[in-house]
Structure 1
Amino acid sequence: MSRTIILQPDGRPAQRPGTTLTSLPPLSVYVHVPWCVRKCPYCDFNSHAASDIPERAYLDALRHDLEQALPSIWGRQVVSVFIGGGTPSLLSAAGLDELLAMLRSHLRLLPDAEVTLEANPGTAEAGRFRDYAASGVTRLSLGIQSFDDAQLQKLGRIHDAGQARAAIRMAQQAVARVNLDLMFALPGQTLDACLADVRQALSFGTEHLSLYHLTMEPNTVFAKYPPRDLPDDDTAAAMQDAVQAELAQASLQRYEVSAYARPGARCKHNLNYWEFGDYLGLGPGAHGKISFHDRIVREARARQPESWMERASRADGSHIAETRTLGTLDLPFEFMLNALRLRDGVASSLFAERTGLSLAAIAHQLEAAVSRGLLDADPTRLQASSLGWRFLNDLQEMFLSN
């Protein structure tokens, strides 16, 4: 028996636009605050330098954005909230309190929902951190990047090492969970200097550390004017290996590509991303993924803050710049792109639970990945092998549709 294949305009086979989910995944909320004091030369996030942020207009637009999103998530519980940027700690204590009160009044936040706020050490104030905690923030994520003043200047940061140390102490006095962001493979950085940054972070009893390789992202100042003396790939790899060993001695295990944590201190919000959970993205440029029983939808808000505020206030949906229903050919790669970032992978059963597809849909790719030694052969888990962890991009790309 022959079958008819329907082609899209680009010649590729057409996809089934939806899926069938028997249950919906956990739901998180991401709120984007786009302003910062100064744009860092390596940053490709949707952030905009501003000396005075339009807090009132932003909060009003955020309320409109949230209210228009409610029908798509009505009745669902929220397991975590992440307020990122930009520099969310530029919000006043009253503004942040209003934002969180808005979320609580419109959404079903679990009593133990993790509420994370990103903060810049250069904008840290002890009183403000305490007010944030009183409003419901349970976790602060501090963009330290380095404890070396010369490196901080090269990175265009507005804080120095002394301010970084002071901000960590303030944060630890305000909330139970504090995450520190560090960068490595910095211009002229040696292995000893890299380890000195990590040891300085550990000296505060840090429970969670995010470690990022400095990369030259497109459309950044560093992409146009790359800094000199960047460590080569072998040196950067040696730094990462040495850091991982140092952190393991301090009981911080690498549980995701860029994240290390002590037992019980993993970031619940980010784990929901990697496990292909749902997240509502609010604010300019925010991305979201929302599952329904018959489809999974990705969406993105308008990027420019002024445009997003104006459009969101119309209450006609025009602030959403992109909406895309994931087809059956998209889902394997979308799922594996996230799940394989976790060092321990995920249970095999999660694939069907979160995509609505049978594991048989990727049987060929799984067999090929195992035969190449990139994926563990355990049928109960989808987990990169040690070799697959080293060549993670290659492993993830095996699940792209042709």
Structure 2
Amino acid sequence: MTHDTPALPLIHGGAQTPRAALPQLPPLALYIHIPWCVRKCPYCDFNSHTASNVLPEEEYVDALLADLDQDLYAVYGRELSSIFFGGGTPSLFSAAALGRLLEGVEQRIRFARDIEITLEANPGTFEQDKFVAYRKLGINRLSIGIQSFQPEKLKALGRIHSGDEAVRAAGMARQAGFDNFNLDLMHGLPDQSLDDALDDLRQAIALKPTHLSWYQLTLEPNTVFWNQPPELPEDDTLWDIQEAGQTLLAEHGYTQYEVSAYAQPGRAARHNLNYWSFGDFIGIGAGAHGKLSHPDGRIVRTWKTRAPKDYLNPAKDFQAGAKELSNEELPFEFLMNALRLTDGVEARLYAERTGLELASLDDARREAEQSGLMQVEPSRLAATDRGQLFLNDLLQKFLS
């Protein structure tokens, strides 16, 4: 597959005041988007598409590697700390296809010795031999999309698996050699009670995942649920679910380290921690986004062609756009990620990863502290418990 090197204009964020070159580049990750699913869920606003009977595995792997080739100039000499296969349902792809892809990536960019490689998987696509083969490729972490164990809730969410299949998937993951896996679980589902939500959570905990992503269902634009909203629990019930669920998770050794992420000690998702601490990531695949820092201080966000048929079309560019972040945008961009972490980040990271003086945040930071939204802690940038609840209000203070 041959795509011409893109000559797309770089969108600049306005007139730039010179800022310091970055003292060191942040860790580098790779996100690989595989956009096909067995069926599109009514709540999903990700770039996912119902798969045909035969997936274009070979062509798509060729395109992913060619896409990566066009980003290599910006990461020469760096190494990958993590890789994340997202979607869609990446576990629809064969181990042979993912193996060829990983081999091609490693030929182009050095892997860190302890690289974390995560694959998203749907319980409805689990086959023991397939996941044994995935583990042999070096994929060492799974993220399994459970959402619920209850038949009526799974039906309402348009999921293709049953609760029993979800339980079996966790068992197969462990038997295949995955000692590090996440379960994705939703709460605030249509007609869900407090007891329903806690039953789901107890079943997930009983499977002993190392990590749980436990988050509230939200209605997103351009989804079936947005256009045909289901009956969701009232705010008081949602609050009770959140409080009781967090207590239950803590009792079982799962520490909340991000708005919707809970992990056993030492098992936080390194790939996601890199996002939230304003690290760098290459994004390849249909609709993938990336963010790369340059030694001269420029920080550029990129996004790729969204429709799979266009992404696979040699006449079209992989890259749909790129934008250099301005000095005025950087405070919000940095803090939008960092303040999602319950402990925030070390304050020194702000200057290291933006090239801006930490003192430039002083006025907004003082106002946030006085409002009870941000912790008064000079060496860290962290939201209070109240700030986590009202994160949008907190972030508004850092908009130029």
Distance in 1 between residues matched to 2:385 and 2:342, nearest whole Å? 9
Distance in 1 between residues matched to 2:82 and 2:17, nearest whole Å? 31
Deviation at 1:69, TM superposition (A): 1.1
DSSP-derived class of the 1:105 partner: helix
**Which deviates more from structure 2 when the two are superposed, residues 231-240 or residues 321-330?**
231-240
**Match status 1:23 vs 2:24:** yes
- For residue 294 of structure 2, what is the aligned residue in structure 1? 292
CA contact (8 A) 1:19 1:296 kept: no
Distance in 2 between residues matched to 1:250 and 1:343, nearest whole Å? 18
Distance in 1 between residues matched to 2:14 and 2:206, nearest whole Å? 55
**Which deviates more from structure 2 when the two are superposed, residues 55-64 or residues 337-346?**
55-64
Deviation at 1:18, TM superposition (A): 6.4
DSSP-derived class of the 2:199 partner: helix
Distance in 2 between residues matched to 1:248 and 1:86, nearest whole Å? 31
Supply the AA of the counterpart residue of 1:60: D
Deviation at 1:100, TM superposition (A): 1.0
Distance in 2 between residues matched to 1:375 and 1:50, nearest whole Å? 45
Deviation at 1:19, TM superposition (A): 5.3
DSSP-derived class of the 2:328 partner: coil
CA contact (8 A) 1:17 1:326 kept: no
Give percent identity, aligned residues only: 52
Distance in 2 between residues matched to 1:80 and 1:333, nearest whole Å? 25
- For residue 331 of structure 2, what is the aligned residue in structure 1? 332
Supply the AA of the counterpart residue of 1:61: A
Distance in 2 between residues matched to 1:235 and 1:355, nearest whole Å? 40
Cα offsets for 1:21-58 (capped at 9, x unmatched): 11100000000000001000000000000122111110
Deviation at 1:16, TM superposition (A): 3.4
- For residue 41 of structure 1, what is the aligned residue in structure 2? 42
After TM superposition, list the pairs within 5 Å mapping 1:149-188 onto structure 2. Answer: 149-174=151-176, 175-188=178-191
**Which deviates more from structure 2 when the two are superposed, residues 296-305 or residues 49-58?**
49-58
CA contact (8 A) 1:42 1:216 kept: yes
Deviation at 1:207, TM superposition (A): 1.7
Q: Which one of the candidate residues 184, 200, 203 is aligned to 1:200?
A: 203
Supply the AA of the counterpart residue of 2:381: L
- For residue 3 of structure 2, what is the aligned residue in structure 1? none
CA contact (8 A) 1:17 1:327 kept: no
Supply the AA of the counterpart residue of 1:30: Y
Distance in 2 between residues matched to 1:382 and 1:343, nearest whole Å? 10
Deviation at 1:193, TM superposition (A): 0.7
CA contact (8 A) 2:14 2:326 kept: no
**Match status 1:219 vs 2:222:** yes
Deviation at 1:14, TM superposition (A): 3.5
Supply the AA of the counterpart residue of 1:251: G
- For residue 189 of structure 1, what is the aligned residue in structure 2? 192
CA contact (8 A) 1:24 1:292 kept: yes
Supply the AA of the counterpart residue of 1:298: R
- For residue 356 of structure 1, what is the aligned residue in structure 2? 355
Supply the AA of the counterpart residue of 1:348: A
CA contact (8 A) 1:216 1:226 kept: yes
DSSP-derived class of the 1:141 partner: strand
CA contact (8 A) 2:36 2:50 kept: yes
Supply the AA of the counterpart residue of 1:383: A
Distance in 1 between residues matched to 2:48 and 2:57, nearest whole Å? 15
After TM superposition, list the pairs within 5 Å mapping 1:52-71 onto structure 2. Answer: 52-71=54-73
- For residue 125 of structure 2, what is the aligned residue in structure 1? 123
DSSP-derived class of the 1:25 partner: coil
- For residue 114 of structure 2, what is the aligned residue in structure 1? 112
Runs of 5+ consecutive residues of structure 2 not aligned to the other structure: 1-12
Deviation at 1:134, TM superposition (A): 0.3
- For residue 390 of structure 1, what is the aligned residue in structure 2? 389
CA contact (8 A) 1:19 1:293 kept: no
Distance in 1 between residues matched to 2:300 and 2:235, nearest whole Å? 37
- For residue 5 of structure 1, what is the aligned residue in structure 2? none
TM-score normalised over the length of structure 2: 0.94
Change (3 A) 1:181 1:17: farther
Distance in 1 between residues matched to 2:31 and 2:50, nearest whole Å? 21
Could you list the structure 1 runs, at least 4 aligned residues long, displaced by more than 4 angstroms after superposition. none
- Between Structure 1 and Structure 2, how many residues are aligned? 385
Supply the AA of the counterpart residue of 2:181: V
Distance in 1 between residues matched to 2:18 and 2:377, nearest whole Å? 31
CA contact (8 A) 2:19 2:356 kept: no
Distance in 2 between residues matched to 1:15 and 1:333, nearest whole Å? 16
- For residue 86 of structure 1, what is the aligned residue in structure 2? 88
- For residue 137 of structure 1, what is the aligned residue in structure 2? 139
Distance in 2 between residues matched to 1:99 and 1:379, nearest whole Å? 44
- For residue 8 of structure 2, what is the aligned residue in structure 1? none
Supply the AA of the counterpart residue of 1:370: E
Supply the AA of the counterpart residue of 1:291: S
DSSP-derived class of the 2:312 partner: helix
TM-score normalised over the length of structure 1: 0.94
Distance in 2 between residues matched to 1:343 and 1:21, nearest whole Å? 26
CA contact (8 A) 2:92 2:125 kept: yes
- For residue 231 of structure 1, what is the aligned residue in structure 2? 233
